[in-house]
């Protein structure tokens, strides 16, 4: 089982979440048998400074290989948050095709971290993802016409623009 610590970086109802509470809940999940805890930015407000504070406390108590991170990209900081997390040894990140998703409690939420954007950055850093970015991008592009809005993935947007330029 994987445990999710939701609203770890801020709650739409209670506001700031004490780092100690995130650590306590994470530790409890592992004691109950979870193989991993996903520290979640459910409403998309995390920034690298918060990520640093939370992970400094978490990795003092838990091995980084048992920590995953779940970032929404509402404020455009998801990739910066991943980059900050890498320095702490975290290597597991949730992402969704094209950046699908969102949160009903976060007005203006744009969705989860786009898988293509994450893969592009990690590949560029020389970190093996073993994921075919073009295949994920093609799947996202196939999904997009079924939605009432464009996908927020920057990689998908850039890939479409490059393909359109090549056809012109």
Active site residues: 103
Token output for 72? 């929404």
Closest CA to 69 of 60, 79, 82, 58: 82
- Tokens 């560029």 sit on residue: 124
Residue 69's region, left for phi above 0, alpha for psi from -120 to 50, else beta, is beta
The beta strand positions in 6-132, using DSSP E, are 36-41, 67-71, 92-94
DSSP annotation of 113: P
State the Cα–Cα distance between residues 119 and 49, nearest whole angstrom: 23
H or E stretch at 3: strand 2-5
Dihedral angle sign, alpha carbons of residues 144, 150, 155, 158: positive
Residues 99, 136 contacting (CB under 8 angstroms): no
């Amino acid at each position: 089982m994987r445990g999710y610590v939701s609203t770890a970086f801020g709650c739409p109802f209670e506001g700031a979440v004490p780092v100690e509470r995130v650590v306590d809940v994470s530790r409890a999940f592992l004691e109950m048998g979870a193989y991993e805890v996903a520290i979640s930015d459910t409403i998309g407000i995390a920034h690298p400074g918060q990520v640093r504070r939370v992970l400094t406390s978490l990795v003092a108590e838990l091995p980084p290989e048992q920590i995953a991170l779940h970032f929404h990209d509402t404020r455009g900081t998801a990739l910066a948050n991943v980059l900050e997390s890498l320095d702490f040894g975290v290597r597991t990140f949730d992402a969704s095709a094209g950046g699908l998703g969102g949160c009903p409690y976060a007005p203006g939420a744009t969705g989860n971290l786009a898988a293509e954007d994450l893969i592009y950055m990690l590949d560029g850093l020389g970190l093996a993802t073993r994921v075919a970015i073009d295949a994920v991008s093609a799947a996202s592009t196939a999904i997009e016409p079924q939605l009432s809005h464009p996908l927020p993935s920057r990689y998908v947007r850039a890939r479409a623009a490059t393909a359109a330029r090549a056809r012109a």
